[in-house]
A and B are shown apart, each in its own frame.
Chain A
């Protein structure tokens, strides 16, 4: 799943990956817990098709 950060507040993700986050930052992951946390931080899903193909 690919998600994009839609908020203006910069963040620094330390785990499970180290990533400086600003508006427009994209993350691709299949980790369900990470996806849930990313959504809570203000990320929005931009692509789910790739995950379906993988399954």
Chain B
């Protein structure tokens, strides 16, 4: 009998918060959005030992194991923000729950996650353990669905899971560009054609001299970086003036489900400055303005029907 080739749709990907670092929970795996792709990579970093008297490698040993993944989703909820920033407080809001998400600070750590990828066709279930979000990029672009891509670092993987986790998809709308509104310094800016936010935790994988299989001991968070790239139709000089004068900016992106008042995500970036400005004049094109900004603070408020995000 010929074995069928596995397809992407044979797979599921869900995420659970670890209560013990690097240990997979058996229940409580949650939906992070409509997953368009999950791209894990496992590297053994094989050590090729050269030795006198032999031209080819004398011997090989597996080295420090590096396990990473990227996950790309159509945005439905604030769960990836919760893992990327770390602190969540939830309260009832209207017919849903408002989850206020802020960054962990000094003396605090990001929550660790287990990401489970189950391939139903081949019966291959892999848990990626001790994971943290290295970078999270949200992209809202005209004529497109709003997407997020997370780059994740793990300490190790494990495929000895007995039973795949429960997978429950949320059926809330994924957000579209036309459900977005951007305010800069509390003023609506309707000419934005592309908004990209990146949260970078500058993670570092730490190895120790310990008996084991070469897996990392832990993932350490570094400094937080918050940057945004904005492209807009050039219809006025307001943002140019803010850039030129080095004025402080506060930027808010609100995504509001047009069919559900209790489903929204609002990102507020504070303490910002424009870093770069680009105004290209091209003979055959409408003029666009591209700006990059850095910020010192972020708050995300995600309203949905989830009781908890983490």
Which residues of A are in contact with B by a Cβ distance under 8 Å? 7, 9-16, 21, 31, 33-34, 36-38, 40-41
Interface of A is mostly: mixed
Q: Is the CB of A40 within 8 A of B120?
A: no
In contact, B27 and A36 (Cβ under 8 angstroms): yes
Q: Number of contact residues on B: which range applies?
A: 10 to 19
Q: Would you call B27 and A40 a contact (CB within 8 A)? A: yes
The secondary structure that dominates the B interface is loop
CB distance from B307 to the nearest CB of A (A): 8
**Across the interface, which residues of A come within 8 angstroms of B12, CB to CB?**
14-15
CB pair A12–B171 under 8 Å, yes or no, is yes
B-side interface residues toward A, CB under 8 Å? 12, 26-29, 118, 120, 163-171, 305
A14 touches B167 (CB 8 A): yes
Q: Give complex CA distance A33, B166 in Å.
A: 8
Give 5 A-B pairs besides A14-B12, A33-B26, A40-B28 with Cβ atoms closer than 8 angstroms: A12-B169, A15-B165, A16-B164, A33-B163, A37-B168
* CA–CA, A9 and B170, complex, Å: 9
User: Shortest beta-carbon distance, A20 to chain B, in Å?
Assistant: 9
Distance between A6 CB and nearest chain B CB, rounded to angstroms:
13
B171 & A11 in contact (Cβ 8 Å cutoff): yes
A15 and B164 form a contact (CB under 8 A): yes
**Closest CB pairs A-B (n = 6):** A37-B166, A15-B167, A12-B169, A14-B167, A9-B305, A36-B27
A/B interface sample: 21 pairs, CB < 8 A: A7-B305, A9-B171, A11-B170, A11-B171, A12-B169, A12-B171, A13-B167, A14-B12, A14-B167, A14-B168, A14-B169, A15-B12, A15-B164, A15-B166, A33-B26, A33-B27, A33-B166, A37-B28, A37-B29, A37-B168, A38-B166
Cβ of A43 to closest chain B Cβ, rounded Å = 11
- Whether B166 pairs with A16 at a CB distance below 8 angstroms is yes
Q: Which residues of A contact B163 (CB under 8 A)?
A: 16, 31, 33
Q: Across the two chains, which residue of chain A brings its CB closest to B308? A: A40
Smallest CB-CB separation from A37: which chain B residue? Answer: B166
Q: How far is the CB of A23 from chain B (nearest CB, A)?
A: 13
A36 cross-chain contacts in B, Cβ below 8 A: 27-28
In whole angstroms, how far apart are the Cα atoms of A10 and B170 in the complex?
A: 8
A15 and B305 alpha carbons, distance in the complex (Å): 21
Nearest residue, chain B, Cβ from A22: B171
